[in-house]
Chain A
Amino acid sequence: MSIAETSTQPTHKPTLLDWPEQRFPLKLDVEIRKVRDLFRAATRNQWDPRTDIDWSALEGLDIDDEHRHAARMYWSRRAWSEYGAISESPALLIRFCEEKREPDLRYFFTIRTQEESRHAEACYLMAQHLGGYIQQPALHDFQKSVATHGVRKMALDPETPLEAIIAALVCAAEEVAFDVFRHLVEITPNKAANQVLRSIMRDEVRHCGFGWAYLEHRIPRMARAEIDVCEEAVITMIRDVEMNGYHSAWLAPDSEATRGEIEADRLTWEAGLGATIEELEKPVFVESVRSIRKRLAPFGIAIPMFEHPKFDGPI
Chain B
Amino acid sequence: MAQPGRAFSGEIPVERRFPLHLEPAIRSIRDLYDQAKQARWDPERDIPWAQFDPSRYSPEVLAAARLSWSRKAWTEYGGLPETPALIIRFCLEHERESDPKYFLTVRNTEEAWHLECCHRFAELCGGFVEEPASPAYAALFNQGLHREALDASRSLDAYVAAHIGIQDGLDLELCRLHRDNATDPVARAILGRLVADKTRHAAFGWFYLETRAAGWSDAERLTIAAEVEHVVYDTELAGFRCVWLCPDAADIAEADRITGDAGLGAAARADEEPVLRRHLADAAAQFSRLGVEASIA
Q: Which residues of A contact B (CB under 8 A)?
A: 1-5, 7-11, 17-18, 20-29, 39-40, 43-44, 46, 48, 50-51, 79-80, 83-84, 86-88, 90-91, 93-94, 97-98, 106-107, 109-111, 113-114, 116-118, 120-121, 124, 133, 135-137, 143, 146, 152
Contact = CB atoms under 8 A, between A and B. Distances in A.
Interface stretch (B37-45, B165-173, B174-182): B37-45
B156 A46 contact: no
B108 A110 contact: yes
A24 B156 contact: no
Given A17-B147, A20-B5, A94 B108 contact: no
Contact of B108 (A83, A87, A114): A114
B130 A25 contact: yes
B254 interface: no
A98 B11 CA distance: 18
A9 B12 contact: yes
Interface stretch (B20-28, B188-196, B238-246): B20-28
| CB-CB nearest 4 A-B residue pairs | A90-B84, A24-B131, A4-B13, A2-B156
The winner among B20, B112, B115, B146 for most chain A CB atoms within 10 A is B20
Given A21-B144, A51-B38, A107-B112, A9 B11 contact: yes
B163 to A, nearest CB: 14
Contacts of B128: 28-29
B190 to A, nearest CB: 15
B275 interface: no
Greatest chain A CB density within 10 A among B87, B143, B154, B217 is at B87
B14 A28 contact: no
Given A17-B12, A113-B108, A4 B92 contact: yes
Contacts of B132: 24
A91 B131 contact: no
Nearest to A142: B18
A151 B244 CA distance: 43
A106 B111 CA distance: 11
Nearest to B89: A4
Nearest to A98: B81
Interface string B67-96: 000000110011011011101110111100
Contact of B112 (A46, A111, A121, A137): A111
Nearest to A47: B37
Given A24-B131, A80-B20, A40 B102 contact: no
A27 B21 CA distance: 39
Contacts of B18: 80, 135-137, 143
Contact of A20 (B42, B74, B89, B144): B144
B6 to A, nearest CB: 10
A114 B33 CA distance: 11
Interface in B183-223: 212, 215-217, 220
A175 to B, nearest CB: 23
B105 A114 contact: yes
B85 A94 contact: yes
A22 B157 CA distance: 26
B157 A46 contact: no
Nearest to B4: A20
Contacts of B88: 87-88, 90-91, 152
Nearest to B119: A28
Contacts of B73: 26, 28
B293 to A, nearest CB: 17
Interface in B108-147: 108-109, 111-113, 115-116, 119, 128, 130-132, 138, 141-144, 146-147
Contacts of B106: 114, 117
A133 B109 contact: no
Contacts of A22: 142
A89 to B, nearest CB: 8
B102 A117 contact: yes
A83 B22 contact: yes
B1 to A, nearest CB: 16
A50 to B, nearest CB: 6
A48 B105 contact: no
Contacts of B156: 2-4
B81 A5 contact: no
B93 A111 contact: no
Contacts of A117: 101-102, 105-106
A106 B80 contact: yes
B274 interface: no
Nearest to B154: A3
20 contacts: A3-B153, A3-B155, A5-B13, A7-B13, A7-B14, A9-B11, A20-B144, A28-B119, A43-B43, A46-B40, A79-B22, A91-B84, A93-B81, A97-B81, A110-B80, A113-B109, A114-B106, A135-B22, A136-B18, A152-B88
